[in-house]
Structure 1
């Protein structure tokens, strides 16, 4: 037998489910109160991964990962468009899997997600180049949560139209900055030679 009370932000009513089998409690953002989320609504492959390590509720996963149950629920349900590297590390630790596996399930690529530090050579970039690189990174990351993948070096990136368009825009902006910074400017004192291409007297005629 189950009891269900609908949850509405406007009325601060809390959802409560009594179900057969394991269930977990999570807090709603709107009310700050608890609502029950049944374990059997956990999507694959998360459900199998959690069962493999004996975590039979969102709350147990959240406790092991150092996250809130509501955060885990939103991530597993695909409601989070961006996931911090620390969150990925926490989920990997709780489920006893590689970070690369977690990031792959989230559509973020078959790679270990770590905080990014540019190489030391980046100090040689001009201010315009640094701004262009920053914008390129933002453009590449924006569509990362969508499905599909394209390979850029060792990184797996989405192949949705938005992702490809962002990548092309980023490349174009970087090329534009490089051209502006390194194209030699004509000297203001340089004047075209009026005799350029005109044969001097005594040359080119019959002797």
Structure 2
């Protein structure tokens, strides 16, 4: 994995990662407006990353190719790793951030809740998807199990504590999209600057 670093004074990062299974170039700006330019060769995943950018107010560009003729798993997981790594790099020392964020987001009959702690301690709790969701094929390429794989990759690479719960839902597309949007909104609030915070929001003095 190679990194182009962060821009001076900006919470931004550019990272490239290439393996025998995937090739990914990603750039982001945590203080953007939610604009995105996404191409992963997995259409539904493009849709989810676009939603993440929009609702987290993160400018995001992704160019990813991989062995999707075998499975989309490597492309989705590796993109999550690169996204998480870029988030961690762009956050810097985390001075002045709110640190915690939560959101509950509906999509028609589906309802998902996410809680994010920019803790420096990677941990994911992911629960509530209905039985069989992990086997459902969404958009002809993306299986429901990829949702958890993506959150695992981002959480551990970015060193976040994340709880995602599906409270209800029937349609697999709606469930997955509600999860991504809830995560995006919770992350938006967690990464935001809080004028009342002095230094790093931790009794340890570091996150």
Shorter-chain TM range is under 0.3
Write 1 or 2 for the structure with the bigger share of helix.
Answer: 1
Structure ranking higher on relative contact order (CA contacts 8 Å, 6+ apart) = 2
Of Structure 1 and Structure 2, the greater strand share is in 2
Scaled by the length of structure 1, what TM-score is found? 0.23
Give the number of the structure whose alpha-carbon radius of gyration is greater.
1
